[in-house]
Amino acid sequence: MSFTVALIGADGAGKTSIGHRLESGYHRPVRYMYMGVNAGAGTHMLPTTRALRSLKRLRGQAEYHGPPPEMAAPAAVRAPRRPPLRRVLAAARAAARTTNLLAEEWYRQGVAALHRRRGRIVVFDRHFLADYHAHDMTAGRGQPWGRRLHGAVLRRLYPRPDLVLFLDASPQVLLARKGEGDLQSLARRRSDYLATAAEWPRFRRIDADGSIEDVFSAVCRELDTLTGEVA
């Protein structure tokens, strides 16, 4: 008996804490996996992703530790065309980034499938579909081709978890816990997560304003329900 569960929600909702508690304290075998965009938090990672992360550090580039940053809308006025060589190099870099991102996502999905074959419940901390839904998956025609391709693959081909649990903490609670962002951006991010509900075969909202013990108990009840259904 095995299935996949994704814990989604904003930073501060308790995803990582709940995921590790499930791995150590649930009454069935559980394997925790990070399925977000922060390479530094990855439990599994391709060598190419590690190399790119090291290259960024050498260049002094900061790593982004949350969901994909909000992208500005395409400019109404077309920017001046770059010289041909610069256009070719930019296209090559974009192709390499998109290829590595897709490879990383499918690699982690393969690792999850391996754990499932061994009878484990796989708990995802974040999920690529949730993190990219408001970005690449709903990117319009004016967005770069790499984002549109990535979004199309996620939307049409990438496997969905059997259960998605949205740990829903209010913007006020998130701001008090993490001290990051503002109430407006946190409310917008909450709306983004709720907008993904139709993407999943089974979506449940968990009130995450309370204590970690209360949230853990609510999550365990959802897993118990699904365990009984797939037994």
pLDDT at site 90: 79
pLDDT tens for 138-150 read 766 678 888 889 9
Q: Using alpha carbons, list the distances in angstroms from residue 10 to 128, 169, 191.
A: 13, 8, 11
3-state secondary structure of 164: strand
Name the token pair of 192. Answer: 């983004």
The DSSP output letter for 160 is P
pTM of the predicted structure, to 2 decimals: 0.85
Flag whether pLDDT at 7 surpasses 70: yes
Q: What is the CATH number that goes with domain 4-64+85-230?
A: 3.40.50.300
Cβ–Cβ < 8 Å for 160, 201: yes
pLDDT tens digit sequence for 181-231 = 999 999 999 999 999 999 999 999 999 999 999 999 999 999 999 988 765
- Residue 119 pLDDT: 96
121 backbone dihedrals φ, ψ, rounded to 5°: -80, 125
Alpha carbon distance 133, 55 (integer Å): 28
Q: E-strand spans in 72-202? A: 121-125, 163-168
Q: How many other β-carbons are positioned within 10 Å of the β-carbon of residue 142? A: 10
Domain parsing of the chain, residue ranges: 4-64+85-230
88 to 11, 79, 96: CA distances (angstroms): 37, 16, 12
Q: What is the pLDDT of residues 55-112, one digit of tens each?
A: 666 666 655 555 565 544 444 445 567 777 787 887 888 898 899 999 999 999 999 9
State the number of CA atoms in the 13 A half-sphere of 30 facing the CB: 22
Q: What is the mean pLDDT of the chain?
A: 87
In contact, 226 and 27? CB cutoff 8 Å? no
Cβ neighbours around 176 below 10 Å, total = 11
68's CB contacts (< 8 A; 6+ apart) are 37, 131, 132, 135, 136
Which position has the token pair 């559980």?
30
Going by pLDDT thresholds of 50, 70 and 90, the confidence category of residue 137 is confident
Cβ atoms of residues 166 and 158 within 8 Å:
no
